Amino acid sequence: MLGESASWYIRLDAYPANPGHVELVTKRHVVSTFDLDGAESAELYGVLCYARNLVEAKVGRPDGWTIGINDGEAAGRSIDHLHVHLIPRHNGDVLDPRGGIRQCAPNCDPDAWTGGDLTAHRDVHLEG
């Protein structure tokens, strides 16, 4: 364990995508991001920033970060316990980083959505 808060702990990923790849893991057993309680949700950003500082102190500052949650089997979840991936990224470590998380989707062309017209979604409101 590399660090912890009241609700989270940080550990090295067992199968790192890059040096410094860590996971933020809930202490309470939850499967989905949407199962977090208010305290766990509130702590997450602080733990994420703390983990970033730990990684940078150990492996240096990367060119970017991938922050990921595979929420559901269809999304790639392989362990039924919520964890957040924090992966340091470096220029050139993938052929075309523009797709980001979309690289896992079949037939995804980053050029098809960069600068695309999103007005079809203007009636969607994020309300709690």
- Grouping H, G, I as helix, E, B as strand and the rest as coil, residue 19 is coil
The number of residues making up the chain comes to 128
Using alpha carbons, select from 8, 22, 4, 9 the residue that is nearest to residue 59.
Answer: 22
Residue from 21, 29, 81, 83 carrying the catalytic annotation: 83
Measured distance CA(1)–CA(74) in Å, rounded: 29
Q: Is 29 a residue of the active site?
A: no
CB 18 within 8 A of CB 90: yes
For the annotated catalytic residues, the residue numbers are: 83
